[in-house]
Amino acid sequence: MSMAEAISRFVKPGCHLSIGGFTLNRNPMAAVYEIIRQRIDNLHLYAHSNGQGVDELIGAGCVRAIEIAYGGNGRFAPTCIRFRKAIETGQIHFEDYSNYQMTLRFMAGAMGVPFLPTTSGLGTDILQKWGFSPEFREAETRLPREKLLVMDNPFRRQDEDPPKVVLLPAVNPDVTIIHVQKAGREGTVSINGLTFADVEQAKAARHLIVSCEELVEEDEMRLEPGENQLPFFLVDAVVHQFYGAYPTACYGCYDYDPQFLKMYQRLAKDDALYASYLGEYVYGVDNHQQLCDLVGREQLQRIRAVNPQGYAAGLDRR
């Protein structure tokens, strides 16, 4: 399936979406750019630290509300720029959690339980201050009425047992999109390197779109099942997408592009410059291949991963 078709078939205006990856690694950027190009808006976004992809979706005006743990992108933007602007100017509804809390929410969704417990956040403003207004939650009937809840530990017996826990409500997005190194034609997924929370996000969603660097016969995926993380029957669309995480990294395939990310950082700070960025790099191309062409073979080659490291050793990242 083409990315354009996968996005238009599953990602609808106003839908609840989550994307895979972490800050500047394995964000499903080809999908993100396609969502922007198709001008799908009013998205309700669930994120832990999904960095670059989240910032671009917010910057392009696709996002109405976000539940998030971390709006940053490593050294290239300790706070994501369009995320920061959107919050400081009241452009989006937002709700803050921690990374583990968001991971637990995806896990709860994947496991089919209404909540999971943790002791993280007791005593903090993550528990005290709620970003979504009660009116917003009341109107959004798919959201739980509570950001989270605290309950006493009913099994407490010893002094060292935790006296209470925070209950985090499950998330079940309409769609999760992840980008991976390898997938079978039927959809079986193999992720190389860190999985972040991709597996939990994928299982929590009603629909799953997978883009991959390498698409192989399903049978080939069965030779080393230990390398696979998701079975084919979870996947709604498989898109073969070369450099599909670009400009973020894809371990073993290519690095993040420091040049592109620095350019983004510079342009994202100014609304007019940002519009020109979108015009040239997103709306100005028909698909991800054309973005890659625009960036140029030479630059893509420069960030190509080497063996055995899996990243572009010696790459100029200043």
Partner 1 sequence: MMDYTLTEMMAVVAAREIRDEEIVFCGTGISMLAAMAAKHISAPRSVIFFETGAIDSLLEEIPLAVADSRVMYHTALNGGLADAFATMQNPFTGPRVVGILGAAQIDPFGNLNSTAIGDYDQPRIRFSGSGGACDVASFVGRTIIFMRQVKGRFVEKLDYLTSPGYLDGNGSRQRAGLRPGGPELVVTDKAVFRFDEKSKRMYLAGYYPGIKVAEIMETVEFPLDCNRAVPVPAVTDKELQILRQKCDPQGLIR
Beta strands 175-184 and 189-190: pairing type? antiparallel
Q: 173 and 16 in contact (C-beta within 8 Å)?
A: yes
Q: 296 and 13 in contact (C-beta within 8 Å)?
A: no
Residue 149 interacts with which of partner 1, a copy of itself, none, CB < 5 to 8 Å by class? a copy of itself
Q: Does 226 help bind a copy of itself (rule: CB under 8 A)?
A: yes
Among positions 211-240, residues that touch partner 1 (CB under 8 A) are 221-223, 225-226, 228-234
Looking at 19, 35, 43, 98, which residue binds partner 1 (CB under 8 A)? 98
Looking at 2, 42, 119, 133, which residue binds a copy of itself (CB under 8 A)? 119
What distances in angstroms separate CA 275 from CA 86, 157, 253, 257, one per listed residue? 15, 59, 30, 21
Six-digit token string for 122: 């007791």
Name the one range near partner 1 by CB under 8 A: 30-38, 56-64, 140-148, 159-167.
Answer: 159-167
Q: Choose among 280, 282, 279, 277: nearest CA to 267.
A: 277
Within 13 A of 4's CA, how many CA atoms are on the CB side? Answer: 7
Name the one range near a copy of itself by CB under 8 A: 14-22, 23-31, 50-58, 162-170.
Answer: 162-170
Please list the residues that pair with 169 across neighbouring strands: 115
Six-digit token string for 318: 């200043």
CB burial readout 232-249, b (16+ within 10 A) else e: bebbbbbbbbbbbbbbbb
In the complex, least distance from residue 83 CB atom to partner 1, rounded to whole angstroms: 8
In the complex, least distance from residue 286 CB atom to partner 1, rounded to whole angstroms: 29
User: Phi and psi at residue 204, in whole multiples of 5°?
Assistant: -75, -20
- Indicate the burial class of 134 (C-beta count within 10 angstroms; 0-12, 13-18, 19 or more): exposed
Looking at 2, 42, 79, 301, which residue binds partner 1 (CB under 8 A)? 79
In the complex, least distance from residue 255 CB atom to a copy of itself, rounded to whole angstroms: 18
Q: Which residues contact 279 (CB under 8 A, 6 or more apart)?
A: none
Residue 297 interacts with which of partner 1, a copy of itself, none, CB < 5 to 8 Å by class? none
Among positions 34-63, residues that touch a copy of itself (CB under 8 A) are none
C-alpha to C-alpha distance for 72 and 52, rounded to whole angstroms: 8
In the complex, least distance from residue 224 CB atom to a copy of itself, rounded to whole angstroms: 9
Among positions 88-117, residues that touch a copy of itself (CB under 8 A) are 111-117
Q: Does 161 help bind a copy of itself (rule: CB under 8 A)?
A: yes
C-alpha to C-alpha distance for 81 and 259, rounded to whole angstroms: 17
Residue 234 interacts with which of partner 1, a copy of itself, none, CB < 5 to 8 Å by class? partner 1
Looking at 183, 199, 267, 295, which residue binds partner 1 (CB under 8 A)? 199
Residue 176 interacts with which of partner 1, a copy of itself, none, CB < 5 to 8 Å by class? none
Looking at 61, 74, 193, 284, which residue binds a copy of itself (CB under 8 A)? 193
Residue with smaller CB distance to a copy of itself, 169 or 244 = 169
Binding site for a copy of itself (CB under 8 A): 111-119, 141-142, 144-146, 149, 151, 153-158, 161-162, 165, 167, 169-170, 192-193, 223, 226-227, 308
